[in-house]
Chains A and B, each alone.
Chain A
Amino acid sequence: MENIHIEPTKRSPAIDFDFDSGNFSIAGESYPEDVNKFFGPLISQLKEYLSAAQGATIQFRFDLIYFNSTTAKIVMGLFEILDEAAAAGNTVNILWSFAADDSNMEELGEEFSEDLEHAKFVMTPKE
């Protein structure tokens, strides 16, 4: 599967999906005009990769400065499919990086991680 790299814009995050190494990241701002148009193709490729993954080590990093409420639905969906991949026997680490003074982003990370049963979750405050 071809790796994905998308440059950030003011309204959409940088995307790095490295299927070869199992390293994934979403970083920056996210309030695109059409959330589904932006994330739809990314999620379907990720799903395809995850459904074929066996005994893989996957690291998914969220390093978001700001995201809107429609992006929040996408993030919630990502947590769900990553947890399913972990349930299927893969090692899945989800990293949630946030500005140390951003209690809202911290709270959202806690909220998204509450339902994880199999994936490992790490929160990292940044100065």
Chain B
Amino acid sequence: MRINITGVFVDDQQKALRFYTEVLGFEKKVEIPFGEDVWWLTVVSPSEPDGTELLLEPSTHPAVGPFRAALVEDGIPAASFAVDDAQAEYERLVAKGVRFVQAPAEMGPVVVAVLDDTCGNLIQICEQRATE
């Protein structure tokens, strides 16, 4: 078994596509219309085009609202992405107008930061430091 797709619920799929590609830097992999204003929509990392796809899933199910509100209230990210340099990514994204709820902080073997994806989710970026 392999993990080929994981997903986040987004308020507006096309807005999310713009944020995840133009701002975060992912690339669109699949876009299949699924009815009116609904798509099967995935993005991948340009450094791993055949890697795990991230599904940008519509947040229309009534359970999504309260579920996500509770997570965001406690600052819990919906997904976590690996970066080589958390501080550099933070500065790059802040310059693009991204709002961080948690600036990069060193916590043991990792440096993590949490940003708002403007589509209803918090996203963590995580730099794994080499351990001696």
Q: Indicate whether A and B interact.
A: no
Which A residues are within 8 Å of any B CB, using their own CB? none
